Structures are given as C-alpha cells and as structure tokens.
Structure 1
Amino acid sequence: MTVATRPPPRARYAARRDAILSAACKVFIDQGVSGFTLAAVAKRMDLHPVSLTYYFKRKEDLAAECMRLTLSRFDAMLEEAEREETAQARLRAFVGAYFETRRGIVLGEAPRLLPFGEITQIGAPGDEELVEAYRALRQRLARLLRPSDAPWLTGPRRYMLAHLIIDQLCWSDTWIAGYEIADFGRVAEKISDVMINGLAAPGRTRPDRPLLDLGAPPAQNDEVTRERFLVAATEIINREGYRGASVDKISAYLNVTKGSFYHHNTDKDELARACFERTFDLIDEAKTRGRSEASGWERLWLISASLTAHQTSGERGRMLRHFALSAMPGELRRSISGRFQQIANAFSGIIADGIADGSIRPADPLLSAHLVMAMFNSVLLLEHWGEDATVETVMSAYVRPALMGFFTPE
C-alpha cells in the first residue's frame, strides 16, 4: 500500500503563503487600500485572522507584498520582451507576455494583477520603496521602446508612452471578460498593431482643429455648489481610491462641514455615481460637438484630443480614472462598467466609420476604442509633464503617437 507523504515544512509554508497572497490580491482589488484588512483576507480563506500574522504581521506588509508580486510579474514580462532586437518587436513581445499572464489568471494558475492607481497609499507614510519600484518599471519599459532610427522619440517622450502602455493594458480589466481565452493571442496582436502603426490611414496628418472646451468654466466666487463637490470628490477618488475618499476628506478639501456635504449630497455612494455621470456627460459632450467633422479620423482626433486636453489641464475638473471602479460596491460597479462599455461601442462606431471612409486604417474597432479611452482617461496632469509643458506638449508627445503610431515620424 502506498502511503501519502506530507510535503516538507518549508514547502507547506510556501504553499500557504502563496495562497494568502492570491486571496489578498483579490481583496485588494475588490476593496482598495482603505478597505484592505487581514480580517477580510482571512474571511476569504475561511481562516482566523491571527493565523495570517504568522506570515504577515501587519496588513501594510501584506498589501506591499501583493504589489511587489505584481511588479515582479511585470518585470518578468519585460525580461521576455528584452530578448527581441527591435523596439517594435520588443513592444509586441511585451504586450503578448501581458495577455499570456492574463490567460494564466483566468485559468486560475496565478493571482490577479493589482492596479497601480493606489500604489502611493500602500505601506508606511514616507515609505517610497514601491513608488520607486514602479518608477523603475516605467523607465525600463521606456528603454524597451528606444529605436535605433527615431531621434524624435526622446527619453522623456518614451517615459510618458510607457505610462500610457501600462494604463492601456491595465484598462483591459474593464473589458477582458468579453473575450474567450483562445482569443487572447489575437487581442495582443491587434493591440500591438495599433500601438505601433496607429489608426490614421496612410497620408493622413494631425487635423488642424482648435480643441473643444468641455464642461462648465470654474465659478468665480466661493459659493459651495454641487459641481464643486463633484470636482472635489473626483480629485480625491483619483488620488486615494473610492474607499479612501471619505466624507470627511471631501468636506475638508472644500473647507466645509459634514452638514454642508449632506445638504448637497445624499451619501458618498450617490456622489461617486454622480462623479461618474459627470465623466460620462463630458465624453458625451465631446462626441456630440465633434460629430460634424468631415471624416472618421477627424472626428476621432477632435473628440479624443479634446478629452485628453481637458483631463491633463484639470482647469474644469478632471474625469474619474477607471481604477476607481475596483473598490466600489458590486451593483454600482456593474452599472458603471456597463456605461463604459456603451461608450467604447460609440468610439468603436467612430473608428468603423473612419475605416469605411478610408480615413482610418483597418484595425479592430472595439479594441482600438478601448486604447483611445485609456489614453484620455489616464493622461497625467500637466504639472507632471515638466515645468514648461503646455497642452500642445501633450498633443505632440502623447496624443499624436497614441493615435498615429508610437514610431511614426513627426
């Protein structure tokens, strides 16, 4: 009779630790940094919280280790891509490795990847280890994009494109469930194609159009209005995540009392939904005002470039970043995710129209739409582009390569 042998203690420790990390990653994604606790992880594993402290003494230690795991997996993707000889081949390999990683996640072979939106909120105050590691990741990806024959693609521009690539790939959290695992390879190929070659048809140039001013101009007085609450809540959710944006913090941002908050708003959930509705209204305004452009390419440029300018300047209140969805209550998250999908379908229609009229090169319309949405949603504030940066800087160094191809000459 064969007697089953127990794994050695070190192997059991490693297996349990991996299981804790996998469960913790799910809790982090569902609850955000502010809702992340050892008790929540233990409950997901049907364990007593004290048993987790043998592996991780504090919730901050466990959250940080989850983020290190995500960063190390991106490093592994880069290591695989760095074997290729050209920048274009390296980018294709990196995108392919990312969707191969997503395949393993769907199959249950690996824990989920954490979003980077709340990375500054993890760990002890003043601890810059994870932020520095994330910065190093983007620098490494920027080096991956360094071509041998494109002097205009400078280091700072490549660094901003690295930020864009990571956000475009992480945006897949909102739509990857709509694809079968067998299609992930095709998805990676189609996304790589748009990143490298852009969407403009051969011979098309950047449209010479004034950008649209979207949303209401900022008020010129100190009156506390619903709009000011929406702008303030959006800023704090973008910075600290949904659970980190408390009623107290939103009120303090506007220097008002909690009583004033509840005078203008029902509760935080209602305000968060309204922030997303305001975001959707801005996108709808851009689509409506850009509808009269002569071709699909001109419509796509004007709408998406105007939204990017609005998001980077912040003068009229930014849009909510997509990662704010991760810690929202389930019903609210599903409702907003559905609205994002409707908007993606609308942009897909603009791209399909451009392919039909010959102004946009043949590409997968829906996947291209997701890349465009990530572009304008994720752009950094203008102050992060450098002391002398203007909206035109963002148009030429970010929007143009995103829509016309990363390696397309100026």
Structure 2
Amino acid sequence: MQDALEQATKPVATRKQAEKRQKLLAQAAIQINSNGAGSINLDAVAKAAGLSRNAIYYYVSDKSELAYLCLSATCDAIQEDLDEALAGFDDPALQISEFVRLNLIERSGRLAVLGDYDLLGGEQCSELLAKERKILDGLAGCVARGIASGRFRAVDPHLVANCSIGMINWVRLAPRWLGEPLDDANGRRLADAICELLLRGFAARDKLPTSHWPFVEQLTVTKVNPFDRGEAREQKRDQLLATASQLFNRRGIDGTSLNDIVAELGATKGVFYHYFRDKTELVVECYNRAFELYDTFVEAARSYGTNGFERALITNHLNCQAQLGSAPPLTLQTGLDALPESVRSQFITRSQKIWLEVQRLFASGVDDGSCRAGDIRSMTEAAAGTFAWLARGGLANSGKSAWELADAICDVVGYGILIDRN
C-alpha cells in the first residue's frame, strides 16, 4: 500500500530523509489532535521526529505550512484507503468495513483530525475542502451502489458518508477527551463499533415513531425579563457564548478570532472584554455551557424514552438538533491539551460522566431487549461522531429541517443501512 504520508512535502534525496519526513508528519498529526492546528509546537515536533529545530526547516518553512501538509497528507491517506477498499471488494458492505479497518487500524494513529482549515490561506483551505469532498463523494457512491443492488436500505448516501467520516474523525480524538488509551487494541474496537453502527445499528426491534420526542428548543429556551439588569446581562453573555460556539464549531477554535465573533454579533471588542478576560476564558466557558447542555439532553432522554434503545437514540437526536441550530453546544474538538491542566482534567471527568450515562441507557436497552448486545463501551463512544460533524455546516443547504436531518441520522445509527441486519 503506497503511503500518502510519504508524498506530502518537497522531494527528498535519501531514504533516511523520507523516513524523517514521515515521522515529522506523524508527529504533526499528534500535535494537531492534541493542541489544534494553529498551536503546533515546532520544537516538540522536531524533537519527537528526531530532528533539530534548524533541520525541520529543510522540510517546512513554518508551523502553518506543517499543519497544511499534515492535513493534506491525511486527506490523501484517507482517499488512498478508500480507493484500496473499493478495488479490493465487490460487496459495498465489505468495502465500507475494509475502508474503516485500513484507516483506523493500519494507519495506527498517524493521521490528523480533519478540520481547522479556516486558519490556513484561502487557496489551501479550498484545496483541503475539495479533497474532503472527493472522499465523501466516493463513500456516497459506494452507498448508492449498495442501495441499487438491494444490499442497503433507501438512505441518503451523502448523509451516510458524512456520518462515516464523522465517526472516523471523532474516534481519532475521543481517547483524549475520555481518558482512553491511544493504542491499536482500542483502535480495533472502535473500528468494529463504527462498522456495526453503520451497517446494523443497535436496535433489536422494529422502528419506533419519533413524533413524541422533544424539540431541543423546548429544553434550552428560557424566558428573560428585559427589565431585570442581571437577567439581561446574562442573556447577552449566553448569546456571546452561543455565537462563539457556532463559529468555533464551523471554523475551528484556532481558525476563529475574537474579531470574527464580535463582528458576527455586530458588537465591539469592548463588549467582549466586558464579559471575558481573553479567548481562553471564552473557550472554557463555551465548553462549560456545552457540558450543561449535554447533561440536559441525557436527562430529557430518560424522561421521554420508553425503553433503553429509545432513550439512547433520543440523546443522539437532541445532539443532532442542537448542532443544526443557531445556538449549538461547542463540540469536543482538537486543542484540549492547549487548555490549563486544571480545566483539562475537569473536562475529561465531565466527558467520562456523560459517556457513562449513555452507556447505562444502552445497557438498559440490552436488558429490556430493545438494543442489540454488543460492545457498548465502544459503540457509545463512536456514536458521538454521527452528530459532531454537523457543526461544520456540511448539510446546511440540504433543504431539510433540523428535525428531519436528526431523524435521518438516527435512522442510520439506530437501524443500520443493511437490509439484512442478521
């Protein structure tokens, strides 16, 4: 299998230089996934790759170029794995399974989480988006052929493709947020979980109606007395957090400036500094708001669901709705290690708590017969990737409402795309 990581930068003269370049990009991927593409530490990357600080400039001119080359190489590697999977099998279900296996197991942690393109120049951003679209189109074509052949149900091929890449993207990042090991065994479990969710879902019974499920606005809208100064101030602060979260989700934290946020609000920087000291405090408060919303969704799922399966799927449905709305929670994304240690450990604890709550919902479904038995730990971890990608606005012009898109995504993750799920 030709390695796209070895082709991303300028030509090299020797095998040793090619190996150094490959190590450099692999270490850059680790930095992007932990600190964010805009916060790469060149000294740390050079040391981990076995290069001096001066030697790194033989391969890249600065950290921005390194981020671009690493993200470009990741796109190339994903495309390469998809092409290999499509060429190796005729069955579209096996093509999807092989693609996921190649990319998450064979690549063994050497690829970056896709995104953060906006911090790069316009031409580089456009190139990366075009590469990602090509991958999504290839996956969608595979799903469409499965539908045409009678192997898959009638689903939206592009939605399934986005869910696939969304889960792959998320499980590269999830171990950091959940305190999980970044090892091959965990990668195999998560690859199997993605394939299980996509192909078979986790429902043990026939489809349930969703008409009685809650709208996210029912749970998040609060009445404010405009004549109460304290309440009015808090409303403005919440609006700032919601707007910042939406932009951070769409462009990445490093790709969004304070000027972008206040411009979106039609405000000034002075208004921002009335509420927050700096961007780091803003990001921390956006995450605090997100965790409160995630807790709210789990509690609502317990109230509205009639069995374990329905409660688990309502949680996913509410998260989909929220990411498609105008005031989404901040998605758990790259840059966790760039936050203060005390905050980082607190966020990992809160992430683990929510993850455990969803596992309990799923486990109760296995007990009551509404969920298929399986690797609950890995499946609940992977499932978050089916809504995290929505934050980037990929289906903004689909012509469907947030509720309809949430229904379609939950239909895939809940029931799978195979006609014969046995």
Q: Which amino acid aligns with 1:92?
A: S
**Corresponding residue number in structure 2 for 1:320:** 330
Q: CA deviation at 1:160?
A: 1.7
Q: CA deviation at 1:353?
A: 0.3
Q: Which amino acid aligns with 2:111?
A: L
Residue aligned with 1:225, SS: helix
**Corresponding residue number in structure 2 for 1:80:** 84
Q: CA deviation at 1:398?
A: 1.9
C-alpha distance in 1, partners of 2:200/2:263? Answer: 46
Aligned residues: 391
C-alpha distance in 2, partners of 1:153/1:392? Answer: 19
**Corresponding residue number in structure 2 for 1:243:** 254
Deviations 1:208-236 (A, max 9, x none): 42423331269898977110121122122
Residue aligned with 1:359, SS: coil
**Corresponding residue number in structure 2 for 1:174:** 174
**134-143 or 117-126, which deviates more:** 117-126
Q: Which amino acid aligns with 1:329?
A: L
Q: CA deviation at 1:59?
A: 4.0
Are residues 387 and 47 of structure 1, via their aligned partners in 2, closer, same or farther at CA, if it must alter by over 3 Å?
Answer: closer
**Corresponding residue number in structure 2 for 1:14:** 18
**Corresponding residue number in structure 2 for 1:101:** 106
Are residues 218 and 369 of structure 1, via their aligned partners in 2, closer, same or farther at CA, if it must alter by over 3 Å?
Answer: farther
Q: Which amino acid aligns with 1:232?
A: T
**Corresponding residue number in structure 2 for 1:3:** none
Structure 2: runs of 5+ lacking an equivalent: 1-11, 227-231
Output the TM-score relative to the length of structure 1: 0.83
C-alpha distance in 1, partners of 2:76/2:408? Answer: 28
**Corresponding residue number in structure 2 for 1:374:** 385
Residue aligned with 2:384, SS: helix
Residue aligned with 1:379, SS: helix
Q: CA deviation at 1:345?
A: 0.8
Is 1:382–1:391's contact at 8 Å kept on the other side of the alignment?
no
C-alpha distance in 2, partners of 1:175/1:28? Answer: 14
Within 5 Å, give how 1:294-333 maps onto structure 2: 294-312=306-324, 314-315=325-326, 317-326=327-336, 328-329=338-339, 331=341, 332-333=343-344
**Aligned pair partner of 1:357 in 368, 389, 395:** 368
Residue aligned with 2:254, SS: helix
What is the RMSD computed on CA atoms of the aligned residues?
Answer: 3.1
Is 1:63–1:123's contact at 8 Å kept on the other side of the alignment?
no
Deviations 1:162-200 (A, max 9, x none): 111111122222138347634644443343222211111
**145-154 or 165-174, which deviates more:** 145-154
Output the TM-score relative to the length of structure 2: 0.81
Q: Does 1:198 align with 2:201?
A: yes
Is 1:118–1:240's contact at 8 Å kept on the other side of the alignment?
yes
C-alpha distance in 2, partners of 1:23/1:200? Answer: 39
Within 5 Å, give how 1:27-38 maps onto structure 2: 27-36=31-40
**Corresponding residue number in structure 2 for 1:4:** none
Are residues 37 and 218 of structure 1, via their aligned partners in 2, closer, same or farther at CA, if it must alter by over 3 Å?
Answer: farther
**Corresponding residue number in structure 2 for 1:346:** 357
Within 5 Å, give how 1:145-224 maps onto structure 2: 145=143, 146-147=145-146, 148-149=149-150, 153=154, 157-172=156-171, 173-175=173-175, 177-178=180-181, 181-182=184-185, 184-212=187-215, 213-216=218-221
Deviations 1:141-180 (A, max 9, x none): 22232311168636xx211211111111222221383476
Residue aligned with 2:37, SS: coil
Q: Does 1:284 align with 2:295?
A: yes
Within 5 Å, give how 1:107-126 maps onto structure 2: 112-125=110-123
Deviations 1:88-107 (A, max 9, x none): 222221222233135x33xx
C-alpha distance in 2, partners of 1:133/1:380? Answer: 19
**399-408 or 28-37, which deviates more:** 28-37
Q: Which has the higher contact order (CA 8 A, sep 6+)?
A: 2
**347-356 or 11-20, which deviates more:** 11-20
Is 2:105–2:184's contact at 8 Å kept on the other side of the alignment?
no
Are residues 382 and 100 of structure 1, via their aligned partners in 2, closer, same or farther at CA, if it must alter by over 3 Å?
Answer: closer
**20-29 or 348-357, which deviates more:** 20-29
Are residues 382 and 64 of structure 1, via their aligned partners in 2, closer, same or farther at CA, if it must alter by over 3 Å?
Answer: closer
Is 1:279–1:319's contact at 8 Å kept on the other side of the alignment?
yes
Structure 1: runs of 5+ lacking an equivalent: 1-7, 106-111
* Identity level (%): 24
Q: CA deviation at 1:205?
A: 2.9
C-alpha distance in 2, partners of 1:384/1:266? Answer: 34
Residue aligned with 2:322, SS: helix
